[in-house]
Amino acid sequence: MMYKKIIGILLLSLTFFTFGEMAFAHGERAQQAGLRMRTLNWWDIEVTPKKVTVNEVITIKGKFSPSVWWPKHMANPSERLAYLNIGVPGPVFVRIDSRVNGVPMIRSTHFELGKTYDFEIKLKARTPGRYHMHPVLSVHDTGPIIGSGQWVEITGDQKNFENKVTTLTGEVIDLETQGMKEIATWHLFWVAVGLAWMFYWFRKLPVLMPRFKEVERLGPLHANDMISMKDMVVGVVFFGGILIAIAASYVWTQNQYPVTTPLQTGEVEVAPLPGQGDVVQIKMLDARYRLPGRSFKVDLEVTNNGDSPIRLGEFLTANIRFVNRDVMGDVQPIDEQDLIAKEGLVVDDNLIQPGEMRKITLRAEDALWETMRLTSLVYDPDSRFAAMLFFFDGEGKRYHIEVGGQMMPTFS
């Protein structure tokens, strides 16, 4: 019976390996809808070029804005340290530069809610393959929050990859191989010490269960009687030898590398981008999600304080772009993972003249609400949403402003 169970488990595992579908994404849909909608707004994400060979550089840039509707139960980047990173399946790139609003981002920082930040990251291709990559902002006590992803392809041979840097003393080293000899030596040394320790105690078998039964028989007060004087001497020798080895390694390292710099743990200050003024002001009047039609309807009061008429062209939430074709034209997705509802935004009374305050109604409708699991928002205990609105004037200038608040579900 036991053999049959083992064979069944092996066959089931083989079935999963044979017929299972490989996962290439990062599990965005598994995150709660409220978390994706009310944490970070990412837009204008651009990756160039999308096909490189080993040692060539890829640049990913764009903008993000921490939402003013950030969930209260989650730590936000204005209160906790945040670190800008890239999400890829493994160490397939080496980051050579990272900046937010022109400030080097080798350390962590804070980001104000409702403010806009421009980022640029340069990556050196390391491992051949096709990868789905995302910008990621990791917030202390909250975790990573990912932006929209794009596919990139790396060709060539990883054996040709070089990651050479010049140290402060002028020495050129390759970070791919630097210190490998010492690492291997010390690993082998400690493995040998561990095996020697285990050999001493396990040289007379069996060991574990007979000793366990003896401890139970003698009781905890007499268990130490099982340790002989020879065992104590061997233990002292091992302990002293390990301390000597550690001290010798410190002395050797200090002599080998007299000039060192400690790891940097301080934070940097990043000022947000200048605001766009109060060209557009909005007030949300009502927001409803209709489950049968997968339709999100928002009534807004929009004030145009600019010098030219404006129209609403895009509704962005949870990395999904609902586009008004009358304003944006035929927007094409970058790849199959680019989440664009090309005709998903319909706006009533969508021309606001200079100095005018007008009530408009927008409807964001598309199957992406269902496929990206945003419909679970209606089951959240705090049914709030947040989104970025993009208005355009007659010259094509864009104005972004965030909208959010309470959302009511409708079931008919």
The CATH code of the domain that includes 375 is 2.60.40.1580
User: Is the pLDDT at 374 greater than 80, yes or no?
Assistant: yes
What confidence score (pLDDT) does residue 209 get? 78
Radius of gyration from C-alpha coordinates of the chain: 30
User: Is 324 a member of any domain?
Assistant: yes
> Per-residue pLDDT tens for 246-280?
999 999 999 988 888 888 778 899 999 998 888 99
What confidence score (pLDDT) does residue 2 get? 53
User: Is 13 a member of any domain?
Assistant: no
Query: Is residue 202 located within the same domain as residue 311?
Result: no
User: Is the pLDDT at 114 greater than 90, yes or no?
Assistant: yes
Query: Is residue 190 located within the same domain as residue 155?
Result: no
- Domain boundary residue, one of 145, 168, 191: 168
> Per-residue pLDDT tens for 310-323?
999 999 999 999 99
User: Is 12 a member of any domain?
Assistant: no
Query: Is residue 51 located within the same domain as residue 162?
Result: yes
User: Is the pLDDT at 16 greater than 60, yes or no?
Assistant: no
Query: Domain containing 144 — which CATH number?
Result: 2.60.120.570
Q: What is the 3-state secondary structure (H, E, C) of the chain?
A: CHHHHHHHHHHHHHHHHHHCCCCCCCCHHHCCHHHHHHCEEEEEEEEECCEEECCCEEEEEEEEEECCCCCCCCCCCCCCCEEEEEECCCCCEEEEEEEECCEECCCEECCCCCCCEEEEEEEEECCCEEEEEEEEEEECCCEEEECCCEEEEEECCHHHCCCEEECCCCCEEECCCCCHHHHHHHHHHHHHHHHHHHHHHHCCCCCHHHHHHHHHHHCCCCHHHHCCHHHHHHHHHHHHHHHHHHHHHHHHHHHHCCCCCCCCCCECCCCCCCCCCCCEEEEEEEEEEECCCCEEEEEEEEEECCCCCEEEEEEEECCEEEECHHHHCCCCCCCCCCCEECCCEEEECCCECCCCEEEEEEEEECCHHHHCCHHHHHHCCCCEEEEEEEEEECCCCEEEEEEEEECEEECC
What confidence score (pLDDT) does residue 410 get? 83
What confidence score (pLDDT) does residue 377 get? 76
pLDDT band at 9 (very low <50, low <70, confident <90, very high): low
Query: Is residue 78 located within the same domain as residue 106?
Result: yes
Across the chain, mean pLDDT equals 88
The span from the CA of 235 to the CA of 224, in Å, is 14
The span from the CA of 351 to the CA of 360, in Å, is 9
Query: Is residue 228 located within the same domain as residue 292?
Result: no
pLDDT band at 19 (very low <50, low <70, confident <90, very high): very low
User: Is 292 a member of any domain?
Assistant: yes
Query: Is residue 325 located within the same domain as residue 198?
Result: no
Query: Is residue 34 located within the same domain as residue 155?
Result: yes
User: Is the pLDDT at 11 greater than 80, yes or no?
Assistant: no
- Domain boundary residue, one of 139, 168, 197: 168
Name which residue leads in pLDDT, 240 or 5. Answer: 240
User: Is the pLDDT at 22 greater than 50, yes or no?
Assistant: no
Query: Is residue 217 located within the same domain as residue 145?
Result: no
Number of domains in the chain: 3
User: Is 262 a member of any domain?
Assistant: no
Query: Is residue 293 located within the same domain as residue 402?
Result: yes
What confidence score (pLDDT) does residue 1 get? 55
Q: Which domain holds residue 298?
A: 280-410
Query: Is residue 92 located within the same domain as residue 49?
Result: yes
User: Is 269 a member of any domain?
Assistant: no
Q: Which two tokens stand for residue 228?
A: 């002989």
Q: Which two tokens stand for residue 207?
A: 């060991």
User: Is 264 a member of any domain?
Assistant: no
What confidence score (pLDDT) does residue 275 get? 87
| pTM, to two decimals | 0.82
Query: Is residue 361 located within the same domain as residue 390?
Result: yes
Query: Is residue 251 located within the same domain as residue 361?
Result: no
User: Is 11 a member of any domain?
Assistant: no
What confidence score (pLDDT) does residue 20 get? 46
